[in-house]
């Protein structure tokens, strides 16, 4: 996974398909929280129970918040940018 611009990561699967990292679910101390990239605001948003906060436009800001809060990444959420579904039977080809 490499950073290709200021706000998110992209992963090249082959010449025709690219995935964008758009979400992250984390865990710390019996507690889950989520970071989601808002494509309209071009900002990472942090969701924690009743709290919603803007983290910033840079992926590094999300990483720093995770390190500072000792959050453990559990689940990465990707979008293929075309907003078409990836057939789950074929998803093992991409891992």
Question: Under a CB-based contact definition with an 8 Å cutoff, are residues 80 and 19 in contact?
Answer: yes
pLDDT at residue number 19: 80
Strand segments, DSSP code E, in 1-95 are 2-3, 9-14, 17-27, 32-38, 43-48, 51-56, 72-79
The pTM of this model reads 0.71
Q: How far is C-alpha 5 from the geometric centre of its chain's CA atoms?
A: 14
Count other C-beta atoms under 10 Å from residue 28's C-beta. 12
Q: What is the pLDDT along the chain (95 residues), one digit of tens a residue?
A: 344 443 445 555 565 667 889 999 999 998 999 999 998 899 999 999 889 999 999 999 999 999 999 999 999 998 877 666 666 666 555 55
């Amino acid at each position: 996974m490499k950073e290709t611009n200021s706000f998110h990561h992209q992963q090249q699967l082959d010449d025709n398909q690219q995935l964008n990292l758009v979400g992250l679910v984390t865990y710390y101390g019996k507690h889950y929280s989520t970071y989601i990239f808002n494509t309209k605001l071009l900002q990472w948003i942090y969701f924690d129970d009743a709290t919603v906060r803007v983290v910033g436009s840079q992926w590094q800001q999300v990483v720093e918040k995770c390190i500072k809060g000792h959050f453990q990444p559990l689940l990465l959420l990707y979008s293929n940018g075309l907003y078409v579904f990836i057939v789950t039977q074929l998803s093992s080809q991409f891992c």
